[in-house]
Structure 1
């Protein structure tokens, strides 16, 4: 694999850690800053909301800037945001720092995807994107246990100091090993608005959103699911999260390799369909912890396998607007996380059965499958701006 792609994947791990790493240490943060746990939880929800909005907006505003230069500038802002968090005296100051890190992280992740798509030949593009997704998924799923470990040893502020140090390493690697990447053709605002009206890609974004929503309907409440069905202690719950995380990291590579093998379109349908099936099976696997672990690993693998073929499909469908759509797809992912967590909480409140979240999650994923089918069935868009501003990613 191209060493430049590995560097970008490493950067996404560093950047992605910031989002959910506070999840397992919220009570400690809340106690230190003299706020309630519910208030401290806004550090996650506000981050996701800002991330979803900032990605497409910042990408559009910075379209004329050479990509490597933009990446380095944005990484510097990301570093400042984490240093601010480390020194924050109040909750308000922490929230401001989180907004800064969220905005910079949103741009850095979409830049990692779009730069990868440009520097890698088309036949290997989906596989390369899979490595970037591995970086994103590994940071999201392994961030929580890592945050707990570091906090127990050095305190919660050291988590953000550590991320700041890692960002310096990423900055150095990008500076020395990534060549300049042209910004590409600059599309007029009217063309970008037309790109947002492309129904074929809109339904692809909806597929991503509902896929992650179905996933987080269950995953956001995995701890009570494990406690209710198996009466596990914190040690075994941590092991389950770790196994899920390892499987999820491999899912990005699986999705990329599958897309290279059978094509992105078939991969999208197979992954979403299999994911829905696994969620429906999940409640019936609890009769045996061993069987459940096997299903858990399948669940984890499929949870992040969609993104590489989906990103490749977006590039194929509308090359001229693929940068903005890759950013929007990441926004759809963030919205899906928020929506899924909300759905799971509602189901739990209405049924008082955490096991039922898996069935509801499966239904939500079926909606994602329908959206994917609709997207694939719509004829290739003949929008005029695609012909006029087509970008060669090879």
Structure 2
């Protein structure tokens, strides 16, 4: 595989790191800015919401800009917003800066995925996209530990400065290593709605929303769930999150590998089906930690395999609108996060923590239904031609 894919994965990694970092430094950040931990936690909520809303909008507004230049500009905004965050005098200013950072991250993730799919042949496209999502999921393993390590020793502001420095270095690295890519044919914002008017494509977006929502119905409350079920706290809980993150990294590659080997049309229903079965089985293993552990790691891996799976399916279904659909899918994933966290909270208020895996499985079963419906409609529309993506053309040869 083209080695530049791993450079793009590193670029996507810092976007994921920026999103996951705050969770590890909330107490220090809240104390320093004189706000409660719950109020400080809204920095994560506004990041996810801004990410979801900005992805499609910014792609439309920047449709005429050459894609490497746009990626570098997004990294520059990322660097400046995080440097400013390191110097933020109060909570309000940091809140606004998180919106700017999320907007830049939404472009970074979509453009890294677009470049990755263009740098490889169609037969390796799924794996290339999977590597990008391995970069993002790797931030789960490193994000919170990285934030805690630096913050405990040198204060919560240093991680933001470190991310700004890495982003600045990547701007020059991408200039030297990444080819230019012409912008795709400019698409007005209404074209995004037109893509959603195609039943098979809209249903594919729902696959991402509902499966990720099912995942976060439990994952958003995994710490109290593990505490209530197995009495895990402190270091043992941190170790469980690390194992979960390692499995998530492998899941990014798994989804891409399955898409390449089995085809996107098979994988787009197979992954939600397996995910639903595994999530529904978790309560069966609640009596044995050593049975629960491998089931949890499989759950983690499958949860992160859905992104490259659905995006490979979208690209193969509508190659001429690949960047549009990837942008919409990026928004869909973050809407799924918000929906799942809200759903889990309602379940806990209505019943208890022990119901979250079963309700999550029910939500992901709806994702499976959407996948099957998408395949049905795509046959009628003739959308499943496996042609190359029309998201822009590289103007320098791939290595």
TM-score by length of 1: 0.95
Please state how far the C-alpha of 1:172 moved relative to its aligned partner: 2.3
Q: Secondary structure at the match of 2:181?
A: coil
Equivalent pair of 1:117/1:393 in contact (CA under 8 Å): no
| Cα offsets for 1:295-345 (capped at 9, x unmatched) | 111011111011112111101111121111101101110010111011111
The residue aligned with 1:247 is 247
Q: In 2 relative to 1, CA 362–170 (structure 1 residues): closer, same or farther, beyond 3 Å?
A: same
Please state how far the C-alpha of 1:145 moved relative to its aligned partner: 2.7
Equivalent pair of 1:208/1:333 in contact (CA under 8 Å): yes
Equivalent pair of 2:183/2:391 in contact (CA under 8 Å): no
The residue aligned with 2:294 is 294
The residue aligned with 1:104 is 104
The residue aligned with 1:161 is 161
The residue aligned with 2:397 is none
Deviates more, 1:163-172 or 1:203-212: 163-172
1:365 equivalent to 2:364? Answer yes
Deviates more, 1:244-253 or 1:306-315: 306-315
The residue aligned with 2:283 is 283
Deviates more, 1:167-176 or 1:229-238: 167-176
Give the root-mean-square deviation of aligned CA atoms: 1.8
CA distance in 2, matches of 1:50, 1:354: 29
1:314 equivalent to 2:307? Answer no
Please state how far the C-alpha of 1:223 moved relative to its aligned partner: 0.7
The residue aligned with 1:9 is 9
Please state how far the C-alpha of 1:36 moved relative to its aligned partner: 1.7
Please state how far the C-alpha of 1:191 moved relative to its aligned partner: 4.2
Q: In 2 relative to 1, CA 282–63 (structure 1 residues): closer, same or farther, beyond 3 Å?
A: same
* Consecutive unaligned residues in structure 1, runs of 5 or more: none
Equivalent pair of 1:248/1:304 in contact (CA under 8 Å): yes
CA distance in 2, matches of 1:359, 1:391: 39
CA distance in 2, matches of 1:121, 1:149: 40
* Consecutive unaligned residues in structure 2, runs of 5 or more: 395-399
TM-score by length of 2: 0.94
The residue aligned with 1:331 is 331
| Cα offsets for 1:24-79 (capped at 9, x unmatched) | 22222111111122211110111111100111001011111110111111111100
Match runs of 1:369-384 below 5 Å: 369-380=368-379, 381=381
CA distance in 2, matches of 1:191, 1:84: 35
Q: In 2 relative to 1, CA 196–8 (structure 1 residues): closer, same or farther, beyond 3 Å?
A: same
